[in-house]
């Protein structure tokens, strides 16, 4: 049995995979968007927590954002009672980075959709 157009299909899929492999530029844009939203939504007393929100260098497949302040985790996830360890903290969780991500969900999805459309438009225009 012979499949007609198999070579063209294989070339097209190879080109699509090559175009979609490196999303670093899109991940950089998404990281900047998340940093902005994260800084805006951070709980504030002094502003140090908001100032500690940073985007890590984008990779081919991820946009990572971190808060480098030492107390970012306890503020974000909360801390239960710690009797005997400098008193009970009972810090209520304030998941501000998750909230920032949720608030930017639609623009981020659009950013990735545009990147995929651009990559696939190069494939559609590829010579057969």
pLDDT bin (cut points 50, 70, 90) of residue 1 is: low
Specify the pTM: 0.77
- The pLDDT of residue 40 is 94
pLDDT bin (cut points 50, 70, 90) of residue 125 is: low
pLDDT for 8-44, tens place per residue? 878 888 888 887 888 899 999 999 999 999 999 999 9
Nearest to 103 by CA among 43, 2, 33, 5: 33
pLDDT for 79-88, tens place per residue? 887 766 666 6
CB 49 within 8 A of CB 72: yes
- The pLDDT of residue 88 is 67
Find the mean pLDDT for residues 106-118.
93
Question: Bridge-partner residues for 66, per DSSP?
Answer: 54
Helix (H, G, I), strand (E, B) or coil at 81: coil
Question: Which residue has 């979609």 as its token pair?
Answer: 20
């Amino acid at each position: 049995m012979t499949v007609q157009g198999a070579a063209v299909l294989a070339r097209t899929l190879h080109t699509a995979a090559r175009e979609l492999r490196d999303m670093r530029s899109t991940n950089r844009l998404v990281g900047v968007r998340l940093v902005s939203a994260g800084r805006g939504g951070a709980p504030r007393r002094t502003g140090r927590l908001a100032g500690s929100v940073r985007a890590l260098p984008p990779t081919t497949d991820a946009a990572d954002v971190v808060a480098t302040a030492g107390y970012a985790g306890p503020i974000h996830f909360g801390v239960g009672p710690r009797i005997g360890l400098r008193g009970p903290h009972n810090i209520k969780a304030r998941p501000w980075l998750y909230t920032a991500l949720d608030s930017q969900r639609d623009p981020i999805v659009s950013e990735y959709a545009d990147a995929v459309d651009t990559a696939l438009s190069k494939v559609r225009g590829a010579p057969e």
